[in-house]
Structure formats: structure tokens, C-alpha cells
Amino acid sequence: MERRSITVNSDFYCKIPLKVFFSFSKNVFVEKTSPSFIFMFDKEFGMNKNKSTDAASAHGDGTVIRIKSISKEFNGEQVLSEISLDIHDNEFVTLLGPSGCGKTTMLRIIAGFETPDKGDVYFGGQRINDLPPYKRELNTVFQKYALFPHLNVYENVAFGLRLRKKQDKLTEREIADRVKETLSLVNLSGFERRNVERLSGGQQQRVAIARALVNHPKVLLLDEPLSALDLKLRKDMQAELKNIQLKTGITFIFVTHDQEEALSMSDTVVVMAEGRIQQVGTPTDIYNEPINAFVADFIGESNIIDGVMLEDFSVRFAGHTFVCVDKGFKKNQRVDVVVRPEDVDVVAVDKGMVVGTVTSVVFKGVHYEMIVDIDNFKWMIQTTDYVSPGATVGLYIEPDAIHIMERSEYSGRFGDYSSFSDELDRLSNPDEEDGDEDGKDSSDDNQ
Amino acid sequence: MKQRSFMARICASPHIVWAIIFIVAPLLFVAYYAFTDQNGRFTFSNIAELSAHWETFLLSVCFSLIATAICLLIGYPLAYAISKAPAKRRSMLITLLMIPMWMNLLIRTYSLMAILDDGGFLNSLLGSIGIPEFHIVGTSGAVIFGMVYDFLPYMVMPIHSVLTKMDDRLSEAAFDLGCNRLEALLKVTLPMSLPGIISGVTMVFVPSISTFYISQKLGGGTIFLIGDTIEMQFQNPATYNVGAAISLVMMILILISVAVMNHFSEDSDDDGGIIL
């Protein structure tokens, strides 16, 4: 049995402390060398069971939230099973997954709106399973903003401060200053007296962020906050959120189903599916070193082919033996091979490692996206050179364009481009679900 | 006013005719009688006679204010509980609340009298377990009880409809920002349900203040409210004009109070609910 560990470096330096945040975030000033934390992926089960190493598990060294083997069931349906995750100070963590993967439930458990059936949640070393939401030092930005319609922008933002007015000995003056400062942080200065219901979606979004940030939480939870915005606005807000996170040094836990959003904003991406964590890592790790077919398929486009690892640095798939950069597998071990569409070169037939027939070509602006049929497996290839449909082409793949993964329960379910969604597959073959998988498995046995 | 299409006018016309015959015309009659004497001559003497009834009027205001307050105190938690119930049970609870409304108000009041009367259902029940019979009908408590009983659904329905439409995330947002359950209720749920409260209060207060049969039946002839006064004036053709004058003044007072309340609720929408 082999273990491979991926090191996730969460080093994070904050350079621009905002005056207004002096009172709460010591970390903004302490330039600390946050320790790397290591997740061990248990290759035998084809699924990661991330365990922090001893160095990271000593609480107080930057771990803000620790989630320990959490399970949650709704009406007999397992929504989360045995989830464990450490979230560090100043980290921008994204929970990424398709709808129904449990990411929102996990966020709601951290916020305190749901209680886990099993497992524990720790906040700064303290177990908070039974702590009601209003006693937790974190705030949430809700999916549809959930602004209070009976209050104007100013009162919405001041809401949390007014509640702590006595406790924190805040004067009206101080509240006004903090609201003003936070509104300028989200570029909403001058909107104080506006009715929140008459604001645009993007402006409401900003109010929601300001309403949460003004309380100076240690952790900010964001539940798909950008999903209701149009594309351009979403991109602006992504940059702005990232910027706000850098400025304030608050830990962000961001939930999204948009992989591009996750890659462009996060320090750490947590890929979830079917109530389990599939992979935890930096955006580059997740993209370049996906742990299984699910992750490879969900993050970006991937051709996922059944292959056999002949020996270190040598893998056979699509009827050809390729040189690769991966090692540490058993001899003749069956593996999943990932080749990204942009990493395949289209060459003349005699120069190609494999030969296939182009079945369709779609112009995408930056490149052409073509589907190439190689032994009945449909590859997606992105190229800037036009090739007409029906042509026979050679494909050339560099060793470092090949990524080898352990087989998992997701093997054979993803990565063939006969269609883009599972749904279309099911619609076209209502009788034989997973028929494709069986077919591929048997052809694999012949190799 | 927006220009209405021809079709819209055609469709609206039956209602307009109806409203003119049965709403505007009677109101004009009331106004006419209020300002004329028996011979049809213009006079203010009917209005002047109102001063004789101001005590009755005050008593009516007190009774209906108390009844409205009790309806609100019972009705709000009830509406809240119904709105938080699972959808299936909610429609059952609403039906239960509505069933008495399918019966005529007068009949409901009579049946309430049968229950509360000396020797009635309640008293014989109490008697059978050894509690001495006591006098209910004829007390002001009975009249207020009758008002609450008859008009409670009018309080619950509008509040319930506002509460069910309210997004659960709003309470969650309140918890998230540091509210405990009570604070979330006071600072978010309650101010947001204000429009429902106001229409509920209006819908209970207005019929309570003008009722006459509840005080007649449950007041046992000892409690005399402004509604009874008006009814009495209209039973004698000689006092039609005074009755009309009281009605007119009542109507104007109710209109003013409703307008004030509506204004109050609009205000709170605009300047950020600092009412609480």
C-alpha cells in the first residue's frame, strides 16, 4: 500500500491592515509563518481521509475551525458522512461541489443553524456543537442576501452592532463610524438612507457583506453569494471579495458550485461530492493533481481514460504506451488517466501517438473545441487549428500532460465526451444505466 | 391616474354601478338625514345632540380597544404558531379557525349566550363538579369575550398571511447577527409583520366599535354601546336623523383612525423601523 501526501501551503501574509479592524484581528499585524498542513490520501480506498499531522492538530497554531468526523442525515438521506476538515486563520477556503453534495449543510453546521448527528465542531479549540448561532463569533452572507426589508441600508448594517451596543459599550457615534467605514469597504458610501428593496442585486449583495463584516467576525461564511449576479458583475465581486479578505484578514468559508469561481478566489479548495470530501488542496493542486475521476471531471474539462501502469513513468492507454511523470504504482496496476483537452496536440497522422476521427468541431472564440473518436472513446481536444469534421488526425501528448490517478468508485463514470452531462446519457439509454461503464471495463480487461 | 383600456372600463362597470347604488347612495342618504330635520330642512341640531351620547361612545371605544388588544395578544402567537407548523397541519389549523366564520355572526353570538347564560351549558357543567353557578351574561367581561370570540379570526388571518410569506432566512440572519430568539422576534419578525397587525387591528376594532347585537345579547340589556344607540335611533322614525348623525360621525372617526394607522405603517417602512 502506498501513500502519497499532498502538501497544502496556506501561508498568508496580510499587509494592509485597515484602521477600523484594529480592535479585533491581532493576526493582521502578527506576520506569522503559518504551518503547512498535510493531508494524507489513503490510496488503498481510492478516497482521501484527510488527517492533519501532529504539527497542525495542536490547536491554536492557526486552526480556527476544526471539523471532526461529522455526519448528518435528513429524512433518512445521508447528507454528510464522516467529514473532517481544518480551517486556518486568514484562509480563503472554498467548499466546492455540485448541488446536493452537502456543502451548504456543512456551512449551516458551522454557522449553527444545523446540528451534526455525529462528530464535533471546534471553534478556536472550543467545542461549539451546542452553541447557538448568536453566540458564535462568525457571520454569514446568505445566498439571497436575506436583508431586512423594514430597515434601510444603514440600519441593516448597524443591526449586529446595535445588539452588542451594551456589551461592547459602543456609542451611536462609534456605530456610525463603523457602519460608514464598512460601507466604504464595499463601495457603498452614500447609500445609507436607501431602501434595501430598491437596490440592484449587486448592491444588495454588498449590503449583505457589509452587514456581516461590520461585526468583525473571526470567520465569514458565504453561501453561494454571487450565484444571483450576472457574469461580469460576478467577476468584479470575486475580485472585490478576495480583496476584502486580504484587507481584513478574516477567514472566509465560501460555498459555490462554480469551479472557476473556486479556482480564482481560494487559498484552499475543498471538493465535495455525495456528502464526502473528495480532495483538499490549493487551486493548482486540485487542477493539476486531481485525486479521482470525480474531481478531474468537476474541475475543468478532462478526458479520463482507463489505463494500466506498466511500471514507473510508463502507462498504457488508448492502445499506446506513453511516457509519463508519475511513479509509485504497482506493476500493471489499473489506473485512471487524465489528459486535459488543452494539453493534447493535434498532429499529422504519421506523427501521432494515437489516431482518431474528428466527429465534431465547435468554435469557442479562443480555440476550437473538437471531439475526437479514438476506439469509441470520445476525447475532447482544444486547439487553435481548424480541422474539418470527419478528418483523421494524430494526437501527440507530452509526458507531463498525463496525470495518473488511483481507480475509485467514480472510475468510468466521467471523462468521456459522448455528451457533456450525465443526464443526456441517461435520456438516450433509458434502459441501460451505467451501460457505458460496463462496456469500458470489459474492453479494459482485454488490454 | 393611468389611462384604462376600454375593455377594463367595460369589465369594471357592473361593479361601479353596484358601488354607486349600494355604497355611495346610502352614504349620501346618511349624510342627508344627518343634516336635516324631520321636515327635510337643513339643520345642525342632530350633530348638536351627539353630546348626549359621548359617554356611550367612550365606553364603546374602551370595550373595542380591550377586545382588540386581547385579540392581538391571542391572535399573534396563534398566527405565529400556525405559520410555523408543517404545511399539511397548517391548512388544517386554518380550516379549524375558519369553520366558525361559515356561521352567521348573530347565530354564533346566540350560541355563545346559550353556553354562558345562567343555567347554560358552562354553568351546568361547573355545577356538576360542585362549583356554584355564577353570573356571566350581563357583565362587561361577557361582552368583551363575545367580541374576541367573534372577531379573533379577523386578527389571525392577515397576520398569518404576512408571517407565512416571510423568508425563514431573515430570522436566521437575525440569529447570525447576534439575536437570541426573543430579540429576533422583536427586531425582525414583529416589525416585518406590522402590516398584518395593522390590518388585523383594523378588522377587529371597526366591527367591535359598531357592534350592537353582541352587547345586546351578552350584555343582558345592562350594557349599552354606541351601536345599540344607533340601532335604537333607527327603530323610531322620529329619531332617524339623530341616528344618521351618530353614524356619520362614527364613520368619519373610524376613517381617520384607519388612515392614521396606515400612515404609521408606511412610515415605518421608509425610515427603518425605529418604532421598537
Domains of chain A, first to last: 3-137+217-288 (3.40.50.300), 302-440 (2.40.50.140)
User: Of the segments A183-192, B21-30, B51-60, B65-74, which one has the largest average pLDDT value?
Assistant: B65-74
> Are A196 and A151 within 8 A, CB to CB?
yes
- Please give the Cα distance from A6 to A40 (Å, whole number): 7
pLDDT in tens, A365-375: 989 999 999 98
From A34, A19, A66, select the one nearest A216 (Cα to Cα): A19
**β partners of residue A357:** A373, A392
The pLDDT tens digits for B234-272 are 888 888 888 999 999 999 988 898 888 877 766 544 433
Could you report how far apart the first and last alpha carbons of chain A are, in Å? 24
CA distance B276 to chain A (A): 12
CB-based contact (8 Å) between B180 and chain A?
Answer: yes
Contacts of B271 in chain A (CB under 8 A): 152
Asked whether the predicted pLDDT for residue B210 surpasses 60, the reply is yes
- d(C-alpha A71, C-alpha A83), whole Å: 7
Helices and strands, counts by H and E, chain A: 12, 22
Note whether B172 contacts A113, CB cutoff 8 Å: yes
Confidence of residue B275 (pLDDT cuts 50, 70, 90): very low
Measured between alpha carbons, how far is A24 from A182 in angstroms, rounded to an integer?
A: 14
Q: A220: nearest CA in chain B? A: B176
The β-bridge relationship of strands A368-374 and A377-383 is antiparallel
pLDDT tens digits for range A395-431: 999 999 999 999 988 888 887 887 766 666 666 666 5
Counted across chains A and B, CB pairs separated by less than 8 A come out at 74
CA distance B58 to B50: 12
Q: How far is CA B140 from the centre of its chain?
A: 18
Query: What does the alpha-carbon distance between residue B25 and residue B272 come to, in Å, rounded to a whole number?
Result: 42
Does residue B188 belong to the interface with chain A, where contact is any CB pair within 8 Å? yes
Inform me whether the C-beta atom of residue A148 falls under 8 Å from chain B C-beta atoms: yes
Q: Is A115 on the interface with B (CB under 8 A)?
A: no
ipTM computed for the complex: 0.72
pLDDT of residue B2: 55
Residues in A closer than 8 angstroms to B180, CB to CB, are 132, 134
A260-291 pLDDT, tens digit each: 999 999 999 999 999 999 999 999 999 999 99
- Spatial separation of the C-alpha atoms in residues B24 and A146, rounded to whole Å: 45
The burial class, CB within 10 Å (0-12 / 13-18 / 19+), for A322 is buried
Contact status of A105 with chain B (Cβ, < 8 Å)? no
SS3 A192: coil
pLDDT tens-digit profile of B105-147? 889 888 888 888 887 888 888 888 887 777 888 889 999 999 9
Question: Residue B233: is its pLDDT beyond 60?
Answer: yes
- Looking at residue B42, the DSSP 8-state letter turns out to be B
One pLDDT digit (tens) per residue for chain A, 447 residues: 334 444 333 333 333 333 333 333 333 333 333 333 333 333 333 333 333 333 333 445 688 999 999 999 998 889 999 999 999 999 999 999 998 899 999 999 999 999 999 999 999 889 999 899 999 989 999 988 899 999 999 999 999 999 887 778 888 999 999 999 999 999 999 999 999 999 998 899 999 999 999 999 999 999 999 888 888 888 989 999 999 999 899 999 999 999 999 999 999 999 999 999 999 999 999 999 999 999 999 998 899 999 999 999 999 999 899 999 998 899 999 999 999 999 999 999 998 899 999 999 999 998 999 999 998 889 999 999 888 999 999 999 999 999 999 998 888 888 788 776 666 666 666 654 443 333 333 333 333
A211 touches chain B (CB under 8 A): yes
Mutate to test the interface with A, among B177, B189, B266, B271 (most CBs of A within 10 A): B177
Q: How far is A399 from chain B (nearest CA, A)?
A: 51
Measure CB to CB from residue B269 to each of A133, A150, A160 and give the nearest one. Answer: A150
In chain B the domains, ranked by start, together with CATH numbers, are 26-266 (1.10.3720.10)
The conformation of residue B24, written as its DSSP 8-state character, comes to I
Q: At B40, which helix (H) or strand (E)?
A: none
- B172 shares contact with chain A (CB less than 8 Å): yes
Partners of A370 in beta bridges: A361, A381
- Name the residue among A143, A149, A215 with its Cβ closest to that of B177: A215
**What pLDDT does residue A430 have?**
60
Is the CB of residue A415 less than 8 Å away from at least one CB of chain B? no
Which residue is closest to A150 within chain B, CA to CA?
B269
In this predicted structure, what is the pLDDT of residue A428? 64
SS3 A63: strand
Do residue B167 and residue A146 have CB atoms under 8 angstroms apart? yes
Identify the burial level of B116 via C-beta atoms within 10 angstroms of its C-beta, where 0-12 means exposed, 13-18 middle and 19 or more buried: buried
